[in-house]
Amino acid sequence: MYEKDGEKYFVVDSHMHFWNAAPDNWVPGAEQFADGWINCFHAYQGLGPPETHWTIEHFRSYSEDDLMKDVFQDGYVDVAIFQPTYLKEWYKEGFNTTEKNGALAEKHPGKFIVNTRFDPRDSDLGLKELEDNVARWGSKGLKLYTAEWNNGSRGWTLKDPGAYRFLEKAQELGIKNVHVHKGPTIWPLDKDAFDVSDVDHAATDFPELNFIVEHVGLPRIEDFCFMATQEPNVYAGLSVVIGGLMHARPKFFAKVMGELLFWVGEDKMTFGSDYGIWEPKWQIEGFVDWDYPSDEFSDYPRVTTATKKKILGLNAAKLYGIEVPAEFQLPADAGAPAAQDDAALVDLNEGAGAKV
Amino acid sequence: MTDATALLAALDTVRDPELDESVTSLGFVTSCTVSAEGIADVRLRLPTYFCAPNFAFLMVADAYEAVSGVAGVHRAQVVLEDHFASDEINRGVAAQAGFVESFDGLAETELHQLRTDFRRKATLAATDRVCRPLLAAGWTPEELADLTLGDLPEAADVERLRSRRAELGLPSGDDSALLVDVVTGEAIGVQALPLHLRRARLTGVSLQANGSVCRGLLRERYATVGLGEEEETL
């Protein structure tokens, strides 16, 4: 819970991790990838405020106590949603598995939601694993990382027939939410690995599932936004957007937020800290204080307290059926959704300077 | 004798296909020398170890071609450092092998389609750069629909738009419409115009934001400034 200026915010961190990237977890022969991966994440942390930076040693494997303190004690989070990323070709026990997350969640009832994952290339064994994980951890959501390396393949897409088999199974098992995270590789490698058009297909063919595209499809926000306008069950996961841009690149943060509010709308955007890349504390404090920095942005939809309450927790609570105490709910008349129709074409008409 | 200045000028023409900015201004060039025998040596770096290998390949291959074309260069070597696919890319480009052969079994086709798709994005973003100031100055979308490229005063952003369109084989002469579909080259009708302009703006924001993140990550990764590196223009 976060409180500022008399307003109370219920916080759902819908995208966070508990990983182990310490050298003793690196697969022999794949050390350069394991090391490269975690160094890349660490560089992202560098885009946050300097006082929140960690040493690489700490970053590789933070402890359970660190997580509980950073996320709940200092970080205002009410409910955190674990998103696993396996990467077992690089990390012996996996980078961040359902089991590792689930074990921590069991020690702290009510604090976590444990999502699981699948990889369609794992075929029948993978289906069985998915079924077991859902049964064991009560997962209602999936995290799908399409750039994972698996047995010579450099990635997959949600359009693959194999993936549809898994999505059907997931739906049958009661999964509601699918978080999609794109990465730099895919099969075949000549395609754009960050392309989100496969999510478009899957969202059309699985209307009962919600698809949360993490880091809003970055670096393909343009494709993501355009797709999201056409699919009622596609959401924008703000992991990386707040953490990576709000502090380091405030002007682009404002533009990206403006575009997202315009195309996707405040009812379909969810906060995710991406912990341990960034701690939630500064992200939440900064976002609650945030507004467009100048009149230059006047053509984008307005950002209200209701907008922020929805993004920081209420939207994700709805997706996951999390009960939100009345004191955090919006009054019935608050926060009409800022969607496209809201954003007048002011930019197309305003001003009266000299013409060419 | 050829000097490094000529090499760097050649590298200035090589762009990151995703960001539509030159590899020099992005800080990706760390060293560029040419020996008395005309052997050019270029070292490149990227913001992360895991930058997408297809775009990385295009940059290295384009750099190789640009440097090889400099008068007095008899042989060129371009080396991408600190990247997970450095070996495949460097070997493939040195052998002029193409992408499919360089990534044996992992790729199906060469990167022409990928390049075209990103030139279209670059063209949309370049369209936004030209149109936004006009709209801010009071032009209506309907008025923009009637403008040709020749109606616009000479300016860097207009030149950029023309060159991006020419690369795609789209009309780029004085009498061609300012606003065209980036696939077909057909002029955009008044009805489709507001959406076209919004998409252009969105694409522009995306490219700029990505470029900004890349610069930030490069700074985190390396303390040194690249040859010809320029601060981002906000």
Do B21 and B104 share a domain, yes or no? yes
Do B106 and B116 share a domain, yes or no? no
DSSP A206-218: -TTSEEEEGGGGT
Q: For residue B52, give the nearest of A193, A251, A356 by CB distance.
A: A193
Nearest CA in chain A to B131: A348
Distance CA B21, CA A356 (A): 27
What is the domain count for chain A? 1
- Give domain status of residue B181, yes or no: yes
Nearest CA in chain B to A188: B107
What is the domain count for chain B? 2
Q: For residue B221, give the nearest of A43, A251, A354 by CB distance.
A: A43
Residues in B touching A356 (Cβ below 8 Å): 134, 137, 151-153
The terminus-to-terminus CA distance of chain B in angstroms comes to 39
The type of residue at A331 is: P
Taking CB atoms and an 8 Å limit, are B209 and A256 in contact across chains? yes
Which tokens in the block code for residue A27?
A: 């697969």
Q: For residue B137, give the nearest of A46, A256, A354 by CB distance.
A: A354
Place of tokens 């402890």: A63
Minimum distance, in Å, between the CA of residue A311 and any CA atom of chain B: 21
- Give domain status of residue A2, yes or no: no
Helix axes A221-230, A197-205, angle to 10 degrees: 20
Do B116 and B103 share a domain, yes or no? no
- Give domain status of residue B219, yes or no: no
- Give domain status of residue A252, yes or no: yes
Do B10 and B76 share a domain, yes or no? yes
The b/e string for A60-74 (b: 16+ C-beta within 10 A; e otherwise) is: bbbeeebbbebbbee
- Give domain status of residue A317, yes or no: yes
Which tokens in the block code for residue B42?
A: 């270029």
Q: Which domain holds residue A308?
A: 11-322
Q: Is A251 on the interface with B (CB under 8 A)?
A: yes
Q: Is B192 on the interface with A (CB under 8 A)?
A: no
pTM: 0.94
ipTM tops 0.90: yes
Q: Mutate which of B220, B221, B232, B234 to disrupt the A interface (most A C-beta within 10 Å)? A: B220
Do B150 and B104 share a domain, yes or no? no
DSSP B65-76: HHHHTSTT--EE
Nearest CA in chain A to B122: A222
Over its length of 234 residues, how does chain B's per-residue pLDDT go in tens digits?
578 899 999 999 999 999 999 999 999 999 999 999 999 999 999 999 999 999 999 999 999 999 999 999 999 999 999 999 999 999 999 999 999 999 999 999 999 999 999 999 999 999 999 999 999 999 998 999 999 999 999 999 999 999 999 999 999 999 999 999 999 999 999 999 999 999 999 999 999 999 999 999 999 999 999 999 998 765
Q: Chain B neighbours among A 188-217 (CB < 8 Å)?
A: 188-194
| Domain containing residue A145: CATH number | 3.20.20.140
CB pairs under 8 A between A and B: 149
Facing residues of A144 across strands? A180
Taking CB atoms and an 8 Å limit, are A189 and B107 in contact across chains? yes
Q: Is A53 on the interface with B (CB under 8 A)?
A: no
Taking CB atoms and an 8 Å limit, are B216 and A248 in contact across chains? yes
Do B186 and B169 share a domain, yes or no? yes
Minimum distance, in Å, between the CA of residue B9 and any CA atom of chain A: 28
Q: Chain A neighbours among B 88-147 (CB < 8 Å)?
A: 99-100, 103, 105-111, 113-114, 117, 121, 132, 134-141
Minimum distance, in Å, between the CA of residue B201 and any CA atom of chain A: 9
Do B97 and B116 share a domain, yes or no? no
Which tokens in the block code for residue B37?
A: 């025998």
Per-residue pLDDT tens over the stretch A139-179:
999 999 999 999 999 999 999 989 999 999 999 999 999 99
Residue A68 · residue A108 · CB < 8 Å: yes
Residue A75 · residue A284 · CB < 8 Å: yes
Q: Which domain holds residue B154?
A: 112-212
Q: What is residue B232's predicted lDDT score, i.e. its pLDDT?
A: 78
Backbone phi, psi, residue A106, to 5°? -65, -25
Per-residue pLDDT tens over the stretch A212-254:
999 999 999 999 999 999 999 999 999 999 999 999 999 999 9
Do B102 and B131 share a domain, yes or no? no
